[in-house]
Structure 1
Amino acid sequence: MDEPDDDFSNLGVPARSVAEVSGRARALVYLILTISVFLSWLFLLAMSRRAAEVDPGPGGALLLALPSLKLPDIFEAFFLMCFSPVVVPGGMTAQLIAIFVMWVLMTVAMMLPSAAPMIRTYCEIADTAAGKGEEAVSPLVLLSGYLATWFVVAFGFALLSYALLSAGVRLGEPAGYKVAAAALAVAGLYQFSGLKNACLDKCRNPFATLFARWSVDKRKIFVLGMQQGLWCVGCCWALMLVMFAVGTMNLFWMALIGIFSLVEKEVRGSLFTWIAGGILLVWAAALLVASPA
């Protein structure tokens, strides 16, 4: 295959924009992949101050030091549904939907930037194909499939959050310590698993899969995006459990997990992954020791 042009001039405007954004994200340590990431972080920043008042978690003191701003009523209602341990106006369905939206925002903010190398690789292949006069499905279709997979996972986390919320489990309380320790232990152990390493290998080398399964059928590219999303979920689902130990809207830990996930996919070898796993396991043990009776 010929070397692709850096300007992606053979792609349409929307696809070219995605390629250019993903390129800048690489240069800027993948801080933002799309406007969706920016909006997710902006909204989560506005809500994290409120979350720190309920469950501060590690780093919560820094959030509490920020000025408490009056939010629009719709945001205040959304926050109430996400963190109230009792059924709020609108019933269980409305509350579960609100928690699901919260997890969607979190997964977009944390996981989408780490998909930048995969999106960039697809754009390079698509640009080369378009330059030869061949059809190329927009990378937006691939991105949609990737996000669809994570949205399903977000719903699973939303169900777990709703169950814990309904049971009245809060950080700093005996039950909260146990849940946090369990989440950290699972996340730590998974860092040493063969499945984790297999998924990391796929995420680190997207070209082979994208090139081998190249298609001009939008449905197949959407499914390919879902498959890439599955590899990403295989890498990161356990790390997302850490949010149950630090507070589900802890902005600082969202940023840390997002950056770690990105760097982990770029660093070769298993040492970095194993070190993180060891830290999580020690943290889990410390929580059990410190847990009040």
Structure 2
Amino acid sequence: MTAAWSLMLLLAVLAWVLVVGQADGSMDMGPGTMGLGLPLFLLLWVIMMIAMMFPSVAPVAVTWVRAIGRQSSGAVRAARTTQFVGGYLIAWTAFGLIVYGILTVTGNVVESHPEAGRWIGAGAFLLAGLHQLSPLKNMCLSHCRSPMGQLVQYTGYRSGGARDLRVGIHHGLYCVGCCWGLMIVLIPLGTMNIAAMAGLAAVIFIEKLWRLGPVFSTVVGVAFLVLAALAPFQSWLLPGLEQHAGM
């Protein structure tokens, strides 16, 4: 189990190194997709998700390895765990397609109407805040915090080809449902804003693993609502939307 933990965390560290390297100068590209086509954007998005999500999803992956059982060889366990992680990333890649569309529209709007950026930013914070306080957030967060019950069901009922891949996709969709609001705030803060990414990764980790995670999630939601109220009047809260306007 220690090897699985170590591998997941090592991949997260390597992903952070790649993201930090790519972020150099990316914020100067202004709002939108940073000039990236869809394939390159999705590749970068997957690397970002590995960096931000793997520390909090590692316990689930380790639990799944335990559920597979010790009767399997190390190679089989590694292959099945890889399928689980791959399915998890497929779910986040699908969400990345939506993010790409949103960023494309956002970049076009802000380029034509720079003042719209403050309202887009306020809307993103408002949406994130409302999501943090919503029943959907609570349901998905409950799953992410206590996956054992679901994993037992997977073991009992999820049979057939590519079971582990389908299990990973299923868990990944819950994770997207839990965290999509947090990802939305990268629109006003900057898609490649390393400080924002690190802060959100910490929020996700605390929400899922701390004893008072649900309470912390509510506090974060209230903070986003406050930022939504301030955003139209405080441009410094919107670095991801102001760069283009100043060019």
Please indicate the TM-score interval, normalised by the length of the shorter structure. Answer: 0.7 to 0.9
Matched, 1:202 2:178: no
Q: CA deviation at 1:166?
A: 3.0
Q: Which has the higher helix share?
A: 2
Aligned partner of 1:51 in structure 2 is: 26
Counterparts of 1:51 and 1:127, CA distance in 2: 45
Q: Are 1:219 and 2:162 matched, yes or no?
A: yes
Matched residue, 1:123: 65
* 2:16 equivalent to 1:33: no
The match for 1:278 among 222, 228, 231 is 222
Q: Where does structure 1 lack aligned partners over 5 or more consecutive residues? A: 1-7, 9-18, 26-31, 57-80, 85-93
Q: What amino acid does structure 1 have at the position aligned with 2:195?
A: F
Could you tell me whether the CA contact under 8 Å between 1:96 and 1:159 is conserved in 2? no
Amino acid at match of 1:49: D
The structure-2 alpha-carbon separation of the partners of 1:282 and 1:168, relative to structure 1 and needing over 3 Å to count, comes to closer
1:159, distance to aligned residue in structure 2 (A): 1.5
Asked if 2 retains the 8 angstrom alpha-carbon contact of 1:96 and 1:162, the reply is no
Distance 1:183 1:280 in 2: 9
Quote the offset at 1:267 in angstroms.
2.3
CA contact under 8 A between 2:46 and 2:89: conserved in structure 1? no
Distance 1:192 1:169 in 2: 32
Of 31, 39, 43, 1:97 maps to 39
Letter in 2 for 1:20: A
Q: How does 1:250-261 map to 2 (within 5 A)?
A: 250-261=193-204
What is the TM-score with the length of structure 1 in the denominator? 0.70
Report the count of equivalent residues: 230
Give the letter aligned to residue 180 of structure 1. Answer: G
Task: Determine if the alignment matches structure 1 residue 229 to structure 2 residue 157.
Answer: no
Amino acid at match of 2:3: E
Decide whether aligned partners of structure 1 residues 259 and 98 sit closer, same or farther in structure 2, where only a CA change above 3 A counts.
Answer: same
Q: Which residue of 1 aligns with 2:126?
A: 185
C-alpha displacement at 1:265, in angstroms?
0.4
Asked whether the equivalents of residues 103 and 158 of structure 1 are also in contact (C-alpha less than 8 Å), the reply is no
* Partner of residue 66, structure 1: none
**How do residues 59-98 of structure 1 correspond to structure 2 at under 5 angstroms?**
82-84=33-35, 95-98=37-40
Structure 2 CA distance for aligned equivalents of residues 169 and 102 of structure 1 = 23
RMSD between aligned alpha carbons?
2.8
CA–CA separation in structure 2 for the residues paired with 1:231 and 1:265: 12
Structure number, greater radius of gyration:
1
Deviation at 1:226, TM superposition (A): 0.6
Instruction: Note closer, same or farther for the CA distance 1:129–1:195 as it changes in structure 2 (3 Å cut).
Output: farther
Instruction: Answer whether contact 2:15 2:50 (CA < 8 A) is retained.
Output: yes
**TM-score normalized by structure 2?**
0.82
For residues 202 and 140 of structure 1, the distance between their equivalents in structure 2, rounded to whole angstroms, comes to: 21
Percent identity between the two aligned chains: 29
